[in-house]
């Protein structure tokens, strides 16, 4: 059989300035390049993980101007002039973000691969809804897959962070 | 290449043959290795002589009983080193894929050595091909290491105390070890590092090595968070595809639409013309594309035109697979026409392991050596495969076992590591090779599809005879463990490795008369692998669903029936516990019900109680309670995590997720259609109660899947009034 493939070419590279984890940078890339690959392969920022590439698993979740977004389906040009925060930029120096600390206190992680995305999603969610109930947690956190099945501990950690640790 | 193991794994000194009394069939050696500081290595004898070490006759200990306890006669060693910075560096010959072995090993060593847990650096050992087997599977790591690791740590502590006695001028018997230091009664102390060199030269310790009294434990048995938690939550934890960024080139493989379809011809003109594409390489599994970024590599892959030959299963779909599996069932001996026979027929689809980290590896193959980074659970096999592919002797291959993003049995196979080595050799550059999610669903490995027929002969208000026939797609075990067991003469059953595992794991601890479990396996060419809990994930769940149906047929309460008829007290205890903690027997609305199931394996037992609400658009597990007796618990937090994970596996497989085969291809491509449970499908809480039975440590990693699955099936059947027969239930509605 012969498969039908479409050659997916990219546009001409252009300079795209944005802020990454508090630092002003610019990259030269075709504008539609998924930000995930700019972060991982060009900038060496490997906290955001590749899990699906199509926005259904949440492993690459990071923040754009404080809102959770999936880096694998975010064109790099769309963050021009914006603030991008990855898991590497969530803590304030050595001081962990309350959500990171809650993740440690509840011993959430097993393999840990999905957790940067879970934490970034949870941090943005709590910024929006500082005292969520279970239904709100279900709604907000179901975009992220944890194959190890740490959901009960993720929920506990979110509640702990919401309660101020 | 940037990533390297922090310390060389092999100390340097002249080798000498191990000597000492042979106690029983096997020996256990612990020996001090020369070099900077103090390194002690524990090794099960029977492999080639330990290289570069000075064996000490006094250190030879009999551990034949421990080997009897292990599931296989694994020959592997581990290393404990006191560094000049007074750190305790340990290497474990296992993979870390989230099960928490690095934390548990650190806890055991810190406890026995009287070191601070914070002073321990717990790492994974690289592949050492002179080990007969270096394998992570079968939930046996703690079972295997519990006593030998403590013995080696105790020997090390004895040497340190002897050297400290000399340094402080105080009799060894008056010294106390605490917080990675030796303390004298007068308040003086020396750190372990300060006496490490002297301790390495100790020939006869002043005090005999004695294992610490378990009553004095302060670390083992104490809930402890993962030691690498901070690395994980800050994004610093590096997985295979995170290694060598900037040096190792992103590489993906174009794979066929059907499983195992060969390349007839291909046209890569458009791909090669794309800016940033570095190489296109044909490898046995497809066409590899190497580029400056994964974005470019993925697009170039899509631009390659391939004429594929027919796949290994062209024309085969789900219906044909079910037909073949049913035809292969061993006929039952319980006649359906005589007496009162209860029959249940069950069917499970193929299930992906679907670890969140897709198959990934980094490899650097040079003219005279090769280096590979992968989360391999069978790294010696990978090192051998890489050596063969690279045309190198196996000792020219350095195989780093790196942190893995989940496995569930998948990483027993390291296809990405081999592919990365093939490409690296072909293009003469280091590569980072990653499968995309579609590849990982459609060309990866699976839990074998299975059909089951169970017949129970009832009479006089009880079961007189019980038969379980399972027919499944053949489980591939050519990853190293099967060969090792065969080499050790432990393939006790005709029919090979699968039959050996089947017969050593299948049992039914109920008073139900004669029990037979028979397995038939059919080669169907869809790649398979052990999947967390191996056959028992399906067969154990089936047994527990039949127990509920038997109880119902006999007019008995499912929990009461179990407590009365279970012949294993550990199983009774965990059932009793979940019934109590979960509020079994309460009144629930129509459409809501609880289910209970229990399983024993891995020298442990676990029961689950789950409550399911079937009134909404999707069944929801609203509550779950687990009780487990895993013997001595090293880390209650880690053990509970494993049992909570098993619950999510159970509810996902029973209710939600399964693979389909259409014309020789897997239909599902990602988590959108392989509907693994998410937050909204998980119970709010999943309490785990660990019961201390005083038994030695058992395995917890896979233990929970059969009981969790059975409990979900039972709860669903009780909530809907329909027997659970075909899975996932959301697709088949039970029938």
DSSP secondary structure of B192-212 = TGGGHHHHHT-SS-SS---PP
Nearest Cα of chain A lies from the Cα of B405 at a distance, in angstroms, of 5
CB contact under 8 A, A152 and B98: no
What are the chain A neighbours of B646 within 8 Å (beta carbons)?
Answer: 149
Contact B97, B404 (CB under 8 A): yes
pLDDT digits (tens, 9 = 90+) for A34-72: 999 999 999 999 999 999 999 999 999 999 999 999 999
CB contact under 8 A, B682 and A111: no
CB contact under 8 A, A46 and B644: no
Residue B554 pLDDT exceeds 90: yes
CB contact under 8 A, A37 and B683: no
Q: Classify B80 as helix, strand or coil.
A: strand
| Cα–Cα nearest to B144, from B103, B184, B176, B101 | B101
Of A44, A87, A107, the CB nearest to B225: A107
Strands of the sheet containing B176-178, edge to edge, are B176-178, B181-183, B189-191
Q: Which residues contact B270 (CB under 8 A, 6 or more apart)?
A: A7, B303, B304, B305
**ipTM of the modeled complex:** 0.96
Contact A137, B679 (CB under 8 A): yes
| Cα–Cα nearest to B445, from B401, B480, B412, B406 | B412
Of B235, B642, B676, the CB nearest to A87: B235
Q: What is the pLDDT of residue B499?
A: 74
CB contact under 8 A, B406 and A111: yes
Query: B665 φ, ψ to 5°?
Result: -135, 145
Scored b (16 or more CB within 10 A) or e, B482-511 reads: bbbbeeeeebeeeeebbbbbbeebbbbbbe
CB count within 10 Å of CB A11 equals 11
Q: How confident is the model at residue B35 (pLDDT cuts 50, 70, 90)?
A: low
Contact B579, B595 (CB under 8 A): no
Q: How confident is the model at residue B11 (pLDDT cuts 50, 70, 90)?
A: very low
Of A10, A52, A104, the CB nearest to B230: A104
| Cα–Cα nearest to B595, from B581, B583, B612, B617 | B612
Q: Which of the pair, B20 or B459, is modelled with greater confidence?
A: B459
Mean pLDDT of B444-452: 96
pLDDT digits (tens, 9 = 90+) for A71-114: 999 999 999 999 999 999 999 999 999 999 999 999 999 999 99
Residue A19 pLDDT exceeds 90: yes
How far is it, in rounded angstroms, from Cα B41 to Cα B33?
7
CB contact under 8 A, A8 and B637: no
Average the pLDDT over each of B446-450, B481-485, B550-554, B658-662 and give the range with the smallest value. Answer: B481-485
Contact B712, B701 (CB under 8 A): no
Question: Regarding beta strands B249-254 and B286-291, do their DSSP bridges make them parallel or antiparallel, or are they unpaired?
Answer: antiparallel
Residue B16 pLDDT exceeds 50: no
Average the pLDDT over each of A43-52, B65-74, B327-336, B418-427 and give the range with the smallest value. Answer: B65-74
What are the chain A neighbours of B408 within 8 Å (beta carbons)?
Answer: 147
CB contact under 8 A, A112 and B98: yes
Burial classification of residue A4, based on how many CB atoms lie within 10 Å of its CB (0-12 exposed, 13-18 middle, 19 or more buried):
exposed
CA A85, chain centre distance (Å): 8
Q: What is the pLDDT of residue B39?
A: 78
pLDDT digits (tens, 9 = 90+) for B306-349: 999 999 999 999 999 999 999 999 887 777 666 699 999 999 99
CB contact under 8 A, A151 and B299: no
Contact A111, B98 (CB under 8 A): yes
Contact B691, B573 (CB under 8 A): yes
CA B411, chain centre distance (Å): 8
Of the residues B356, B410, B434, B677, the best mutation for testing chain A's interface (the one with the most A CB atoms within 10 Å of its CB) is: B356
What are the chain A neighbours of B647 within 8 Å (beta carbons)?
Answer: 149
What are the chain A neighbours of B621 within 8 Å (beta carbons)?
Answer: none
Of the residues B249, B295, B302, B531, the best mutation for testing chain A's interface (the one with the most A CB atoms within 10 Å of its CB) is: B295
Residue whose pair of structure tokens reads 């390291």 in the numeric block: B414
Residue A9 pLDDT exceeds 90: no
Residue B718 pLDDT exceeds 90: yes
Of B242, B295, B671, the CB nearest to A56: B671
CB contact under 8 A, B305 and A56: no
Q: What is the pLDDT of residue B79?
A: 85
What are the chain A neighbours of B297 within 8 Å (beta carbons)?
Answer: none
pLDDT digits (tens, 9 = 90+) for B163-216: 999 999 999 999 999 999 999 999 999 999 999 999 988 877 887 778 999 999
CB contact under 8 A, A151 and B682: yes
Tokens of A46: 């490997």
Q: What is the pLDDT of residue B481?
A: 52
What are the chain A neighbours of B270 within 8 Å (beta carbons)?
Answer: 7
Question: Regarding beta strands B54-55 and B28-33, do their DSSP bridges make them parallel or antiparallel, or are they unpaired?
Answer: antiparallel
Average the pLDDT over each of B15-19, B127-131, B376-380, B514-518 and give the range with the smallest value. Answer: B15-19
Torsional sign, CA B435, B350, B316, B520: positive
| Cα–Cα nearest to B108, from B639, B634, B673 | B634
Q: What is the DSSP string of B635-686?
A: -HHHHHHHHHHHHHHHHIIIII----EETTEE---STTTS----GGGS-S-E
CB contact under 8 A, A57 and B235: no
Q: What is the pLDDT of residue B332?
A: 79
Tokens of B289: 């594309």
What are the chain B neighbours of A138 within 8 Å (beta carbons)?
Answer: 679-680
CB contact under 8 A, B302 and A8: yes
Of the residues B679, B680, B684, B686, the best mutation for testing chain A's interface (the one with the most A CB atoms within 10 Å of its CB) is: B679
CB pairs A-B closer than 8 Å: 220
Nearest Cα of chain B lies from the Cα of A81 at a distance, in angstroms, of 22
CA B470, chain centre distance (Å): 23
- Secondary-structure percent of chain A, ordered helix, strand, coil, rounded to 5: 35, 20, 45
CB contact under 8 A, B676 and A147: yes
Residue B493 pLDDT exceeds 70: no
CB contact under 8 A, B403 and A112: yes
pTM: 0.92
pLDDT digits (tens, 9 = 90+) for B473-491: 998 877 655 444 444 434 4
pLDDT digits (tens, 9 = 90+) for B289-309: 999 999 999 999 999 999 999
pLDDT digits (tens, 9 = 90+) for B577-603: 999 999 999 999 999 999 999 999 989
Where are the alpha helices (H) located in B332-473, listed in sequence order?
379-390, 415-427, 437-442
Residue B653 pLDDT exceeds 50: yes
Q: What is the pLDDT of residue B131?
A: 65
Torsional sign, CA B360, B394, B237, A111: positive
Q: Classify A100 as helix, strand or coil.
A: helix
């Amino acid at each position: 059989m012969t498969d039908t493939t479409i050659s997916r070419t990219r546009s001409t590279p252009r300079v795209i300035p944005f802020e990454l984890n508090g630092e002003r940078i610019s990259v030269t890339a075709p504008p539609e390049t998924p930000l995930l690959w700019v972060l991982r392969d060009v900038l060496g920022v490997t906290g955001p993980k590749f899990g699906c590439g199509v926005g259904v698993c949440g492993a690459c979740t990071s923040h754009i101007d404080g809102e959770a977004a999936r880096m694998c389906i975010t064109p790099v040009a769309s963050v021009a002039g914006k603030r991008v925060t990855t898991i590497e930029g969530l803590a304030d120096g050595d001081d962990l973000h309350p959500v990171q600390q809650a993740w440690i206190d509840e011993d959430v992680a097993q393999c840990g691969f999905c957790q940067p995305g879970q934490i970034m999603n949870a941090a943005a969610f709590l910024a929006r809804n500082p005292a969520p109930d279970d239904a709100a947690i279900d709604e907000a956190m179901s975009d992220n897959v944890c194959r190890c099945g740490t959901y009960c501990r993720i929920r506990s950690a979110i509640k702990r962070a919401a309660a101020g640790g | 290449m940037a990533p390297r193991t922090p310390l060389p794994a092999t100390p340097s000194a002249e080798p000498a043959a191990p000597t000492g009394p042979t106690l029983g069939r096997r020996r256990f050696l612990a020996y001090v290795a020369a070099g900077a500081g103090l390194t002690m290595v524990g090794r099960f004898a029977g492999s080639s002589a330990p290289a570069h070490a000075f064996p000490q006759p006094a250190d030879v200990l009999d551990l034949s009983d421990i080997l009897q306890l292990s599931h296989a006669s694994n020959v592997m060693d581990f290393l404990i080193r006191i560094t000049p910075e007074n750190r305790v560096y340990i290497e474990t010959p296992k993979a870390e894929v989230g099960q928490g072995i690095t934390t548990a090993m650190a806890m055991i060593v810190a406890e026995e050595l009287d070191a601070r847990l914070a002073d321990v650096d717990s790492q994974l050992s690289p592949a050492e091909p002179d080990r007969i087997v270096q394998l992570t599977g079968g939930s046996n790591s703690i079972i295997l290491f519990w006593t030998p690791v403590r013995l080696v740590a105790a020997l090390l502590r004895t040497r340190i105390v002897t050297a400290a006695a000399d340094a402080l001028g105080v009799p060894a018997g008056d010294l106390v070890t605490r917080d990675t230091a030796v303390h004298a009664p007068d308040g003086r102390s020396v750190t372990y590092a300060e006496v490490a060199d002297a301790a390495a030269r100790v020939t006869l310790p002043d005090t005999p090595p004695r294992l610490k009294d378990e009553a004095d434990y302060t670390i083992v048995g104490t809930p402890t968070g993962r030691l690498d938690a901070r690395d994980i939550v800050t994004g610093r934890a590096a997985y295979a595809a995170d290694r060598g960024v900037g040096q190792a080139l992103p590489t993906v493989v174009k794979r066929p639409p059907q499983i195992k379809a060969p390349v007839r011809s291909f046209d890569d003109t458009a791909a090669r013309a794309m800016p940033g594409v570095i190489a296109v390489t044909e490898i046995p599994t497809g066409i590899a594309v190497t580029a400056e970024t994964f974005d470019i590599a993925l697009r170039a892959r899509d631009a390659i035109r391939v004429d594929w030959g027919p796949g290994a299963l062209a024309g085969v779909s789900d219906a044909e697979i079910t037909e073949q599996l049913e035809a292969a069932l061993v006929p039952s001996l319980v006649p359906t026409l005589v007496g009162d026979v209860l029959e249940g027929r069950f069917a499970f689809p193929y299930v992906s392991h679907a670890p969140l980290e897709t198959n990934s590896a980094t490899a650097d193959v040079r003219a005279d050596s090769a280096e590979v980074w992968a989360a391999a659970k069978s790294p010696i096999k990978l090192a051998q495969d890489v050596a063969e592919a690279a045309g190198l002797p196996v000792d020219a291959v350095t195989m780093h076992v790196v942190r893995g993003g989940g496995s569930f049995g998948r990483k027993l196979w390291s296809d990405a590591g081999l592919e990365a080595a093939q490409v690296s050799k072909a293009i003469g550059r280091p590569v980072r090779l990653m499968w995309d999610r579609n590849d990982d669903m459609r060309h990866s490995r699976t839990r074998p599809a299975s059909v089951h027929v169970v017949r129970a002969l009832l009479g006089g208000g009880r079961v007189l005879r019980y038969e379980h026939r399972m027919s499944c797609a053949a489980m591939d075990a050519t990853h190293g463990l099967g060969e090792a067991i065969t080499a050790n003469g432990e393939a006790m059953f005709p029919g090979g490795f699968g039959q050996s595992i089947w017969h050593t794991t299948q049992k039914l601890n109920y008073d139900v008369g004669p029990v037979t479990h028979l397995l038939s396996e059919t080669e169907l060419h869809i790649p398979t692998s052990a999947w967390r809990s191996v056959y028992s994930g399906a067969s154990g769940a089936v047994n527990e669903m039949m127990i509920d149906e038997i109880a119902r047929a006999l007019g008995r309460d499912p929990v009461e029936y179990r407590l009365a008829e279970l012949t294993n007290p550990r199983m009774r205890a965990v059932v009793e516990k979940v019934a109590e903690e979960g509020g079994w027997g309460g009144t629930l609305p129509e459409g809501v019900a609880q289910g209970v199931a229990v399983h024993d394996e891995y020298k442990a037992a676990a029961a689950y109680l789950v409550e399911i609400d079937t009134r909404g658009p999707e069944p929801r597990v609203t509550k779950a309670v687990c009780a487990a007796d895993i013997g001595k618990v090293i880390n209650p937090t880690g053990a509970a995590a494993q049992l909570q994970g098993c619950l999510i596996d159970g509810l996902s497989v029973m209710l939600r997720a399964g693979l389909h085969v259409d014309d020789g291809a897997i239909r599902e491509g990602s988590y959108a259609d392989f509907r693994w449970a998410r937050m909204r499908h998980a119970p709010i809480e999943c309490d785990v109660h660990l019961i201390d039975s005083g038994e030695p440590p058992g395995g917890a990693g896979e233990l929970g899947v059969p009981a969790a699955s059975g409990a979900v099936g039972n709860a669903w059947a009780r909530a809907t009034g329909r027997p659970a027969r075909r899975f996932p239930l959301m697709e088949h509605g039970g029938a």
